[in-house]
Amino acid sequence: MQSFAVQHGSQQFLEQQIADPQPNEVVVALRAAGLNHRDLMMKDRIGNQPDIYTLGSDGAGVVEKVGSEVSRFKIGDEVIINPSLNWYDKTSAPPDDFRIFDGTFAERTVISEDFIEKKPDHLSWTEAGVFTLSALTGYRALVTLGQIKRGETLFIPGVGGGVVSFIIQLAKAKGAYVITTSRDPNKLKQAEILGYDRAILTDDNWEEQLADEEIDLVIETIGGATFNRSLGVLKKGGRIVTFGSSTEDQFTLNLRQFFYGQYQLFGSTMGSREELRELLAFCEQHELRPLLDKGFPFTKIDQAFDHLSGQTQLGKVYVVM
């Protein structure tokens, strides 16, 4: 069986899990898997572990085998992986044993039945394979923490990102007015399909360009390079949610400006199973689908990693098994 692992050690452990799943586990034969920014970082974080470590958090496929106590699924069911492990209810922070699933860059993966959901009917295999991590992260940031309301204005820089492109669609379906940015004018043109209301270049002077807007909510994923500029366009008393720092983690914040502005800052990461189920129902109702950038055959996954690293993407990069 093929898998994409940081350490190409023995395949025995993986083969054993697949041959003999635990009572609550299912074996999923993957049809497509999505790449995330996280996969780029995990390659370095894993280091020199002796055991094989298969990357990949997003995926969709068919249940091929079920453990003796599995009750929600049967062989042949079409499912998506929920990589947000051990976080069941919509709590204010994930539980101590929360972790993110890795293992979808493989022909088969093994996971507890608690962390798979039925594949939404309106999504293709590739759309389903890239869906969960980005969409769930976006949902918690925009809806649970950001509390977006119909008629409010959202500012969300960096349209090229897989999460950002999904949040724009979600925000439009929630009735918000959406302003985005990109470093690349061509991406802004292509991203019109997402339905945003207004776009400016990331290199523009945001305060000048957006002087006529009253921004209620900012979702900031770029990090140090843009955080203060994002805060600069937020209305006094407005909300800012962050879950990413594609550039620097650390930067200087003017605390006096922050507290005089009465801003509200929320940190977010992934989301719970309860939120995923809310999101799936909302997406089915509104037929929302993730924006696909480019796909590669699983055997060419190295090229998919190179493509994601190049930052030319608009939407999700994926592999097909």
Ligand X SMILES: NC(=O)c1ccc[n+]([C@@H]2O[C@H](COP(=O)([O-])OP(=O)(O)OC[C@H]3O[C@@H](n4cnc5c(N)ncnc54)[C@H](OP(=O)(O)O)[C@@H]3O)[C@@H](O)[C@H]2O)c1
Angle, helix 125-139 to helix 273-286, in steps of 10 degrees: 120
Choose which of 26, 28, 163, 292 interacts with ligand X (CB under 6 A): 163
In the complex, the smallest distance separating the C-beta of residue 92 from ligand X, rounded to whole angstroms, is: 15
In the complex, the smallest distance separating the C-beta of residue 309 from ligand X, rounded to whole angstroms, is: 9
Q: Which residue is nearest to ligand X (CB)?
A: 244
Choose which of 36, 54, 126, 272 interacts with ligand X (CB under 6 A): 36
Looking at the Cβ atoms of 14 and 159, the one nearer to ligand X is: 159
Looking at the Cβ atoms of 119 and 187, the one nearer to ligand X is: 187
Residue 134, Cβ density class (10 Å: 0-12 exposed, 13-18 middle, ≥19 buried) = buried
At 204, which amino acid appears?
Answer: D
Contact 25, 94 (CB under 8 A): no
In the complex, the smallest distance separating the C-beta of residue 171 from ligand X, rounded to whole angstroms, is: 15
C-alpha distances in Å from residue 257, one per residue of 102, 173, 227, 228, 266 = 41, 33, 14, 11, 17
By CB under 6 A, tell whether 105 contacts ligand X. Answer: no
By CB under 6 A, tell whether 164 contacts ligand X. Answer: yes
Looking at the Cβ atoms of 123 and 163, the one nearer to ligand X is: 163
By CB under 6 A, tell whether 91 contacts ligand X. Answer: no
Looking at the Cβ atoms of 30 and 241, the one nearer to ligand X is: 241
By CB under 6 A, tell whether 161 contacts ligand X. Answer: yes
Task: Tell me the β-bridge partners of 294.
Answer: 317
**Count of residues that interact with ligand X, criterion CB under 6 A:** 29
Per-residue binding string, ligand X, 182-201, x by CB under 6 A, is xxx--x--------------
- Rounded to whole angstroms, the Cα distance separating 283 from 173 reads 9
By CB under 6 A, tell whether 137 contacts ligand X. Answer: yes
Using CB under 6 A, which of the segments 47-55, 57-65, 162-170, 298-306 binds ligand X? 162-170
Per-residue binding string, ligand X, 235-264, x by CB under 6 A, is --------xxxxx-----------------
DSSP per position, 178-201: EEEEES-HHHHHHGGGGT-SEEEE
Using CB under 6 A, which of the segments 16-24, 30-38, 89-97, 118-126 binds ligand X? 30-38
Q: φ, ψ for residue 201 (rounded to 5)? A: -80, 145
C-alpha distances in Å from residue 164, one per residue of 32, 96, 167 = 21, 27, 5
The number of angstroms, rounded, from the C-alpha of 180 to the middle of its chain's C-alpha atoms is: 18
In the complex, the smallest distance separating the C-beta of residue 275 from ligand X, rounded to whole angstroms, is: 12
Rg from Cα positions in the chain: 20
At 12, list the tokens: 């025995």
Using CB under 6 A, which of the segments 35-43, 53-61, 71-79, 254-262 binds ligand X? 35-43
By CB under 6 A, tell whether 154 contacts ligand X. Answer: no
User: Pairing between strand 25-34 and 84-85?
Assistant: unpaired
- Rounded to whole angstroms, the Cα distance separating 108 from 97 reads 24
Q: φ, ψ for residue 136 (rounded to 5)? A: -65, -45
Residues of this chain that interact with ligand X (CB under 6 A) are: 36-38, 133, 137, 158-164, 182-184, 187, 202, 221-222, 225-226, 243-247, 269-270, 311
